[in-house]
Structure 1
Amino acid sequence: MSAGTRSRGTRFLRARWRVVLRLACWSVLETGQTFLTGYAPARALDAGFLAGRAGVGLAWLGVAGIGVLLGAYGTARVYAAVAALVEPLRDRLVERVVRRGVRKADRGALSGLTQQVEIARDTFAGLVMVSRSFVFTAVGALVGLFSLAPLLLLVVGPPLLAGVALFAATLRPLARRQEAFLVADEALADRLGAVCPGLRDVTATGAEERIAEDCGRLVDAEFGAARSLARWSVLRVASLAAGGQLPIVLLLAAAPWLLARGVTTGALVGALAYVTQSLLPALHNLVHGLGTSGSRLTVVLRRLTSADAENMEGGEEATRRDESGDAASRQRESAARRAFTPAVAPALSLSGVTFAYGPASAPVVEGLDLVLAAGAHLAVVGPSGIGKSTLTGLVAGLLRPSEGQIEVYGEPVPSAAAEARRVLIPQEAYVFSGTVADNLGHFRADPVPEAELLAAAEAVGMGPLLERLGGPGALVEPAALSVGERQLVALARAYLSYAPLALLDEATCHLDPWAEERAERAFAARPGGTLVVVAHRISSARRADRVLVMDGTGTAFGTHDELLHVSPLYRDLVGSWTPVPARRSEPALALRDADGVDAVARPGLAGDGRHVVAHGPVGQVQASGDLGDGGSLRRQR
């Protein structure tokens, strides 16, 4: 257990010292019950049945029964005291998890509430019961042995102390190995959870060997952690045998010696009762409870408390920490805004980037070199399935190239610094239940001023939708929004972020051409902002400063007019992507096309998520997802 966890635990118990004291007082009854477990039968034999006084023997047995009843009453009160100690811990952890989930959009908050908090509560309660029971049971048994005959302590005490000492010595390394095993098991489960739903894609891309190798390493890591844990568990069994079972053997072996030195038969029977009925069960519970559940509690508490610097205390101290945390967050954002206007580094740099979806698959991107200056506006065009979205995934750090290097404003990708400098708006926009302001300010740590929210919404064309919803404070039901409206929300959210590089991966495909133009111009006009657009209309390419043409054999890079002269593929695309007719979606094929094919889904088809993109001679189209002609993307030669 880390020093921080121990410190927080100490403060938590100190703040509830009255509950701890009440728990100890009720546990005294359990000590009395343990004392009578061996003492009463011993007196019943020595002073009663063996002396021919059956009434005295029965009376002592009655005293033992009364001790059992008092112990049961005390145990019931102990459970109430434990609940008073455990439930505040659970409430504090729930508050912490909810705060982190709301403020930081922590994806693990649901797991923290439904699993980790309950594990922490149950495990903590179990550890309190086990530790308390062993301490008071051991005290009652040792006092009873001394009362019967001090010589009995010489037989029972040393092996008991040796067993406890051995267990204490192995507790820390055993806890570390238990934690390592849990971490390895969770890593394997997380990996398999990601791989299993995509087995068909793994097979289709020829990535079986790579995935098997990755999963195999995780399996080997868990196997190694399990073996190490098993080896140390042997010492735990040895401590249990030494402290709880060896005293029984020693009492039986030393019985003649003890009887010869004045130890009575009843005292010997009472000593056996103490060991078998009290010490051995208590030590067994301590070894298994503290050895296994203790490390689980350590892991869970570390994960629940490592995300922020709050401790378990409430009140004004927590409030001050929240305020200081907010101030620190504002300072980081201020520094981030300053860092997001670099003077020298280009906005985007790709050097020899190669990527394939499997070791046996042809590269989708191969040897790509690209430098984009800060403030530039780039449109990426090409046939469907050629790798445009793959390129944005590489720049965003969602995919890792097999070769080459990617930098965003001088920061290597992937890295936290590069991630903070880019914002990706995918085709499928994400909107969550909450207020409009919460959705739009999702990428900002502090609440966004309402004036800034309204200005951003107006800039990207979300103004009418915001007014219809009822303003920034209105609640949003994602299912009630159309796909185009969700895209407007995602665009306004990205516009409000401090990331200077905006990646629009067909983020306006469900908007009409005029709404698309307004959104793109807004991002291009952001102060210090850089825009990369995966274009699906020729108008997007015309608006861009530079155009990157991707095909299966090479790339072409230049202005719209330059590419018309040097790129046959771009001329084909421009010929198929006709200008925007009045109030019609664009791109569209020539009117009265013989095949009756419209290159863009019209309102009735806007939800199918597929786009028809012309990439051959005019009139020839290819549906999205058809990889029949897909090849690798190489640099222009």
Structure 2
Amino acid sequence: MSAVVPPAVRAAVRRALLREPRRLARLAGWSLAEAAPAFAGGHAVARAVDDGFAAGRPLTGLAWLAVLGGAWAVAAVGARRVLLEIAGIVEPFRDDLVEGVVAGALRAGRGGDAAAVARMNHQVELARDSFGAVVTVVRSFAFTLVSVALGIATLSPAVLPLVLPPVLAGLGLFLASLPALARRQRAFIVADERTTAAVAAMAGGLRDVTACGGETRVAQSVGREVARQARAARSLAAVTATRTLSLAVGGLLPVLLLLAGAPWLLDRGLTAGVVLGALTYVTQSLTPALGGLIQGLGVSGVRLVVTLERVLGAAGPPVRHGETAPDGVRLELQGVTFAYGPAAEPVIDGLDLVVPEGDHLAVVGPSGIGKSTLAALVAGLLRPSAGAVLVGGVPAAEVRPDARALIPQEAYVFHGTLRDNLTHLAPGAPSGAVEEAVALFGLDGLARRCGGLDADVDPAGLSTGERQLVALARTYLSPARLTVLDEATCHLDPAAEARAEAAFAARGGTLVVIAHRISSALRARRVLVMDGARVLAGTHEEMTEASPLYADLVGHWESRDLGRVS
């Protein structure tokens, strides 16, 4: 089992179970009460037959059946308390996962990626439900198996060899199949996520797809993901057949052995009531418990391992930035690969790139291709799965925070004065520099509307474009010499976008722009084109010749502008 469950998953489950030892003890106590029929059932049936109905004493037989009914009443009370105790274990487990996912999204700069966060929250809910199901079925089987074994041993030890070996054999066969089951379940979940991501990217980029005439290529790409998911589903269905075989060996074979061995048991002095009691133990308690375990672990258990592995991978360890001052802001990516989770397909795979200090690079590509992931890697908010991202020779995640800045699409403005917002990253900025930034980024009108730089700003009263302008001017005033604009001008008109990018280019340092419009690429010294199949970098002219995707985007932009002129 240790090969099936990764260490991080085992640690998370162990923490959840041992968080409250008293609750775990209460769960065990109520589980004993719930298992009362599993122990009393065979005895009650045997005594009801031998001492009651077969002996001509129906009242005695009914009294023994009443004892079994009492055991079921105790079990009903125990079952209710068991559910409450399991909920007390599962809900904090879910809260921890949600906290980890949200913190991981914020650390990774994916807080604005609602789709990614929603997918991970869906994974959390799956993990929560699966964890509760696994705790329920494992606990139920364990207490039932022990209760049945004790019941048969006290009823007639001679029956044990006909019951326990096939049950253990069926259980062993099922456990042996779990590694393959886990691999195929993981492959299915990854295929499902890839299909979801492909469809979401297609839906979000329909305008670009239509503009570039890429309908056929996109349809083929999405179709490949759908076909891959279908193959994974068929492969998963094939291995789940092992569950049926395991249940047949562990649940049905004991019944056959008891029926076939009944003459032998009767010859050894056992009564018909004992044989019926043994059958009761197997059919009413052991077989349902084994079926629940196989179904629960085979579905919920494997899903728990796979989803929890992905959730923990997305949350990741805390990213702690160092205080190392880089030697300049030359940006270098050496064989960089990154995937959101150990089993996920890489978003960026083996990327080599050098951006000299003072360069102006525009990153172009369709929605969902990994541009924002690249921005987060460059800014040190994500660590590569393989390779290195260096800023001035220092790993990006260890660069002193004031040496680089990332401006995301969703700009943040806090309550306070306009001057406080603008000088947040440069508290000592002189008034002249602040006024220059206001003029450069076209914030004069906002300043007048607010009542001056020292008047309070209500973030809710600003448009998304105004918030972006404030964030741009704030970073312009900061000491950061590596600036990454992750569609940070998407809510601005083309003229305001051009002014902002020109201001950063003239300011010095290294500028990386995740392009929202193709005009951003035309203003850059170099262009990085990400189209999924390959990543190309060069000048505008070089990319027009080397990349059909880039040529299509440029052609569409030029034809649109010509149409406006005419």
Same structural fold, with TM-score higher than 0.5 when normalized by the shorter chain: yes
Q: Does 1:140 align with 2:147?
A: yes
6-15 or 137-146, larger mean C-alpha shift: 6-15
Which residue matches 2:437? 460
Residue 262 to residue 522, structure 1, CA distance change in 2 (3 Å): same
Aligned residue number for residue 326 of structure 2? 338
Q: Which residue does 1:375 correspond to in 2?
A: 358
* Aligned mates of 2:316, 2:428 — CA distance in 1: 32
Tell me if structure 1 keeps the 8 A contact 2:468–2:488: no
Give the corresponding residue for 1:270: 277
Q: Which of 155, 158, 181 lines up with 1:151 in the alignment? A: 158
Taking the TM superposition and a 5 Å limit, the aligned residue runs for 1:515-526 are: 519=500, 522-526=503-507
Distance verdict in 2 for CA 1:526–1:60, change over 3 Å: same
Separation (CA, whole Å) in 2 of partners of 1:434 and 1:302: 36
- Summarize the alignment of residues 113-512 of structure 1 with structure 2, pairs less than 5 Å apart: 114-196=121-203, 198=205, 202=209, 205-308=212-315, 325=318, 328-329=320-321, 331=322, 334-335=323-324, 338=326, 340-342=328-330, 374-375=357-358, 392-394=362-364, 417=389, 430-431=410-411, 448=425, 450-451=427-428, 458-461=435-438, 465=446, 468=450, 476-477=459-460, 480-482=461-463, 484-492=465-473, 495=476, 496=478, 498=480, 500=482, 507=489
C-alpha deviation, 1:484, in angstroms: 4.9
Answer whether contact 2:182 2:306 (CA < 8 A) is retained. no
Structure 1 residue aligned with 2:80: 76
SS of 1:624 mapped into structure 2? helix
Structure with the largest fraction of helix:
2
**Inter-partner Cα distance in structure 1 for 2:33 and 2:162:** 26
Whole-angstrom distance in 2 between the partners of 1:13 and 1:455: 60
Q: Secondary structure at the match of 2:563?
A: coil
- Map Cα deviations across residues 575-595 of structure 1 (whole Å, 9 max, x no partner): xxxxxxxxxxxxxxxxxxxxx
Where does residue 87 of structure 1 map in the other structure?
A: 91
Do 2:42 and 2:278's aligned partners in 1 also have CA atoms closer than 8 Å?
A: yes
Give the aligned partner of residue 567 of structure 1. none
Q: Which amino acid aligns with 1:431?
A: A
**Cα gap change, 1:140/1:502 in structure 2, threshold over 3 Å: closer, same or farther?**
closer
Give a deviation string over 1:514-542, Cα, whole Å, max 9, x none: x88985674245353459899x9xxxx9x
Residues in 2 aligned to 1:397 and 1:212: alpha-carbon distance in whole angstroms: 15
Partner of 2:545: none
Shift in CA distance, 192/555, structure 1 to aligned 2, threshold 3 Å: closer
Cα distance change of structure 1 residues 239 and 195 upon mapping to structure 2, 3 Å threshold: same
SS at match of 1:51: coil
Say whether 1:624 aligns with 2:561: yes
| Distance of 1:158 and 1:423 partners within structure 2 | 65
Give the conservation status (yes or no) of the 8 Å contact 1:375–1:531: no
Q: Which runs of 5+ in 2 are unaligned?
A: 334-353, 372-377, 379-386, 397-402, 528-538, 543-556
Unaligned runs of 5+ in 1: 311-324, 348-370, 379-390, 402-407, 409-414, 549-553, 558-612, 616-621, 630-637
Q: Distance in 2 between matches of 1:195 and 1:295?
A: 31
Q: Is the 8 A contact 1:453 1:472 kept in 2?
A: no
* Paired letter, 1:500: L
Code of the residue aligned with 1:304 in structure 2: it is V
Q: Which amino acid aligns with 1:83?
A: A
Give the CA deviation at 1:46. 0.3
What percentage of residue pairs aligned between the two structures are identical? 40
What's the counterpart of residue 25 of structure 1?
29
Q: Report the counterpart of residue 43 of structure 1 in structure 2.
A: 47
- What one-letter code is carried by the residue in structure 2 that aligns with 1:32? A
Q: Which whole-Å CA distance do the structure 1 matches of 2:66 and 2:486 have between them?
A: 83
Which residue is 1:363 aligned to?
A: none
| SS, match of residue 392 in structure 1 | strand
CA shift at 1:13, angstroms? Answer: 2.5
Contact 2:362/2:524, CA 8 A, preserved across alignment: no
> How has the CA–CA distance of structure 1 residues 399 and 512 changed in structure 2, closer, same or farther, with 3 Å as cutoff?
closer
Q: What is the alpha-carbon distance in structure 2 between the residues aligned to residue 625 and residue 235 of structure 1?
A: 65
Tell me the equivalent position of 2:509.
Answer: 528
Which residue identity does 1:526 align to in structure 2? R
Q: How does 1:558-637 map to 2 (within 5 A)?
A: 624=561, 626=563
1:2 Cα deviation (Å)?
A: 0.6
More deviation, 243-252/158-167: 243-252
Separation (CA, whole Å) in 2 of partners of 1:250 and 1:146: 17
Asked whether the 8 Å contact 1:394–1:400 carries over to 2, the reply is no
Query: CA 1:503–1:122 in 2, change beyond 3 Å: closer, same or farther?
Result: closer
Deviation at 1:493, TM superposition (A): 5.5
Moved more, 105-114 or 283-292: 105-114
Q: CA deviation at 1:260?
A: 1.8
CA deviation string 1:525-584 (max 9, x = no partner): 5353459899x9xxxx9xx99999xxxxx9899xxxxxxxxxxxxxxxxxxxxxxxxxxx
Deviations 1:456-492 (A, max 9, x none): 8655316764793997996622xx4346524413423
Query: Matches of 1:133 and 1:125 in 2, distance apart?
Result: 12
Task: Give the Cα separation in 2 of the matches to 1:524 and 1:50.
Answer: 99
Alpha-carbon RMSD? 4.8
Question: How high is the TM-score relative to the length of structure 1?
Answer: 0.63
3-state secondary structure, aligned to 1:217: helix
Q: Deviations over 1:20-63 (max 9, x none)?
A: 11111111112322111221011000011101111211111111
Q: Give the distance between the partners of 2:525 and 2:229, measured in 1 at CA.
A: 50
In structure 2, relative to structure 1, the CA distance for the partners of 1:22 and 1:556 (3 Å cut) is: closer
What is the CA–CA distance in structure 1 between the aligned matches of 2:96 and 2:435, rounded to whole Å? 41
Whole-angstrom distance in 1 between the partners of 2:307 and 2:525: 51
| Alignment partner, residue 547 of structure 2 | none
Say which structure, 1 or 2, has more relative contact order (CA 8 Å, 6+ apart). Answer: 2
* Change in CA separation of 1:259 and 1:96 when aligned onto 2, cut-off 3 Å: same
Secondary structure, aligned partner of 2:236: helix
Equivalent position of 1:632 in the other structure: none
Choose 128-137 or 294-303, whichever is displaced more: 294-303
> 1-side partners of 2:491 and 2:259: how far apart?
85
State how far apart, in whole Å, the 1-side matches of 2:310 and 2:455 are.
34
Deviation of 1:224 (Å): 3.1
- Secondary structure of 1:488 counterpart: helix
Of 94, 98, 102, 1:98 maps to 102
Matched residue, 2:346: none
- Deviation by residue 1:402-446 (Cα, 9 ceiling, x = unmatched): xxxxxx9xxxxxx984997998989xx643686689xx999xxxx
Letter of the 2:329 counterpart? T
- One-letter amino acid of the counterpart of residue 186, structure 2: E
Aligned mates of 1:396, 1:98 — CA distance in 2: 26
Other-structure match for 1:16: 20
Give the alignment partner of residue 111 of structure 1, picking from 97, 112, 118: 118
Contact 2:413 2:421 in 1 (8 A): no
Is contact 1:166–1:239 with CA below 8 Å preserved after alignment?
Answer: yes
CA distance in 2, matches of 1:115, 1:504: 26
